[in-house]
Structure 1
Amino acid sequence: MVTPLSFQMFGFSASVAAGFLLGAIYDVLRIWRDFFHSQKRAVFFQDFFYMVFCAFFSFLLALPLGGGAVRIYLLAGEAVGWFVYYFTVGQVTAYLFRAISGFLYRCFFDPVGRLLKRVSGWFGKKVKIAVNLLKKKGRDWKKRLKQRAGIVYNRRNGLRRSRQKRKVVQRNEGTRKSKTKKKFSA
């Protein structure tokens, strides 16, 4: 089917406008990346979904304008519109956004960040003191239980020692003290 030249010119101009719109969407995505400092993985997925969206949008544009067939002039028109936006309006918006975001970071986000860092440092010290106090209390709670005996069946803490004979000596104040003597074997 041969389409008249005027319809092809309309299709080309509509695809240039669509490319301009796709460039504006990419500009929003670029501003998002700059503002939130996206990592490489996030940039990859953002670009991937942007390309899928562009392919779907181009397909939907080619249905009425190309009669269901993909025409090279429609794709070329989208590319021209995208590059026109990117190198004209896109450069101006990128410059303005960088200036505005630099001002916001310098005057708002950095002071708020420093304040939050100070508050979190102070709060962290208080939490650390509370945790240490709770640990100390936990050790003290264990001390309420009966302490393990130091000598059981003539063994000190599980180590076998030579047998010792205990002798109890009384002092003047009535306190008792034990002395040990080694048993001599012949």
Structure 2
Amino acid sequence: METLFTSTALVALAEMGDKTQLLAMLLAARYRRPVPIILGILGATLANHFLAALVGHSVAGLLKQPWFRYAVALSFIAMAAWTLVPDSIDGDAPLAAPSRAGLFVTTLVAFFLVEMGDKTQVATVALGARFGNILAVTAGTTLGMMIANVPAVLFGEALARRVPMRAMQFGAAALFLALGLYMIAQLTGLIA
């Protein structure tokens, strides 16, 4: 349960103001068809985050030395700093029309590609390394993405005006920092 809750909370907060959330808002504003957009986000996130959690778990399994655990802890602290840097999408760049496959496939492919190397994907790799349960990490990070993106699709611009994105970024940064410091405290024996 800790794995699911931690993964959900970290990714939901880290996604606030992220480029994939901005992409969700842009797609929703442009096409006004929430169901295929939401299903595309779900499919892309499940695939992307499962692979990221698998990579994190595989690397953690190979490298059980203390230095690697410190590296994972430091990656959470680095994520705290990265979370404070807001993402943006070029507002002047035109949105391409959906492919012949439709809005679902367009959203699926766009989200999968935009998520590559993104804060939430890197966080999922780190969570996969930290926790042994790949499915719980994938479920939690996917749930976190959906918590952040479904309202963005459904309420788009009205939500952006009401939610203080900077406060959400600070909240996400605080969670990443706390998890990193907690891991270091465990490794140094300050916490059992």
User: TM-score scaled to structure 1, two decimals?
Assistant: 0.33
Structure with bigger RCO (C-alpha 8 Å, 6+ apart): 2
User: TM-score scaled to structure 2, two decimals?
Assistant: 0.32
Q: Which structure has greater helix proportion? A: 2
Q: Which structure has greater strand proportion? A: 1
Query: Which is higher, the Rg of structure 1 or of structure 2?
Result: 1
